Amino acid sequence: MPFTDEKVQQVWEKGKVVEKHDLVFERQDAAQAWIHRDEYGNRDSEFGWEIDHIHPDGGDEISNLQPLQWENNVAKQDGSFDPAVTSDGNRNIPFEKEGN
């Protein structure tokens, strides 16, 4: 079932606010990847984001939801978070795994 506009906004507000950036329009996810508010659900944008269930079986309570850049959400499996994307300046870049 799709999320309501109100729930999408509540999850958006859980994104990391970055000083000197427009907190209404842009934030960062748990891997520091940039996400843009108006790119919710857009997998064609590097700043697109989705609502992630922190614990897969934890339900749709706001405490169990977080905004994730869409590639990071796709990379998350079975509750294990192995980011695909992070940021460098104002751009998103591939996440470098330790040892690479």
Q: Is the pTM of this model over 0.85?
A: yes
For residue 57, the model assigns a pLDDT of: 87
Q: Contact 52/66 with Cβ under 8 angstroms?
A: yes
User: Do strands 65-69 and 85-88 pair parallel, antiparallel, or not at all (unpaired)?
Assistant: unpaired
Residue ranges of the chain whose pLDDT lies below 50 = none
CA torsion sign for 72, 29, 52, 64 is positive
Q: What is the pLDDT of residues 86-100, one digit of tens each?
A: 999 999 999 987 765
First to last CA, the chain: 39
Delimit the domains of the chain by residue range.
5-88
